[in-house]
Amino acid sequence: SQLEPTRRRIGFDGRGFVDLCTRLAKMPSNELIALVGPNATPIMATSLPKLIYQIPTGTGEDVAKSLWAICRADLSISLSSQSATEFLVGLKSILISVDREGKPPSKRTISPALLRTLQKFIVTKIFSDLCSDAVPSGQNTTENVWTTYLQCLEHVPSATIAEADGQNCDITHATVFGIAICAALSAKSARKVESWIALQKMEDISMANLRSMLLSTLAIATQARN
């Protein structure tokens, strides 16, 4: 609540608290989790939109990347997608607030350079990490994190997506599920995934990769049905 401008006490401008939050966010993920405990990482992730408007552009980039590293550790080690989902919800709110600028007046602003960095970060690093760590399993369905990721992607300019490697890269066993999920926004990508799966030789595929292909097929089929 100290990051909310309306909640500040008289004589307290919040800069010291913002500095503390920034330093915590930039700690190595294992050190931060050891310090605040695993249950606190989703709370840290929710602070992104409140924090990023109050810090310089260069620091904002570092904080966003550091917070995502913490969320990814939660996703890959703890098999919990809560922190990653909260982080993406925060990113989405930032992108939406930028979309609305120029309509109702807004006191919150973000530099064009930082905005471009965040957009590129979404379609490259975050996409790659989700492909690695957010394939559904018995312990973690990851449905919420992918749904929120797609909502973020809807607010990223198509030119940024086209320029990045991410979803436009060659399909591999490592990326097929992520590209299949993102095909909800592109019929062309859906056909690309279907063609790639059809060309695979089942006898040469490991069980893990076969599972990813099955999940990808189900994702495409669900999108077609909807």
Report yes or no: 2 and 22 within 8 Å, Cβ to Cβ. Answer: no
CA distance 130 to 187: 21
Predicted confidence band of residue 10 (pLDDT cuts 50, 70, 90): very low
Higher pLDDT, 7 or 82: 82
Report the pLDDT value the prediction gives residue 167, as an integer from 0 to 100.
Answer: 53
More confident residue, 222 or 106: 222
More confident residue, 122 or 46: 122
- The Cα–Cα gap between 79 and 85 comes to 13
Does residue 17 have a pLDDT over 80? no
Using only C-alpha atoms, what is the Rg of the chain?
19
Asked if 3 contacts 21 with a C-beta cutoff of 8 angstroms, the reply is yes
* pTM exceeding 0.75: yes
3 state DSSP class of 172:
coil
For residues 65 and 48, what is the distance between their CA atoms, to the nearest angstrom?
11
User: Could you tell me the pLDDT band of residue 57, with boundaries at 50, 70 and 90?
Assistant: confident
| Cα 51–chain centre separation | 17
Asked if residue 110 lies in contact with residue 53, where contact means CB atoms within 8 angstroms, the answer is yes
Rounded CA-CA distance 88/82 in Å is 10
Distance CA(159)–CA(153), nearest Å, equals: 12
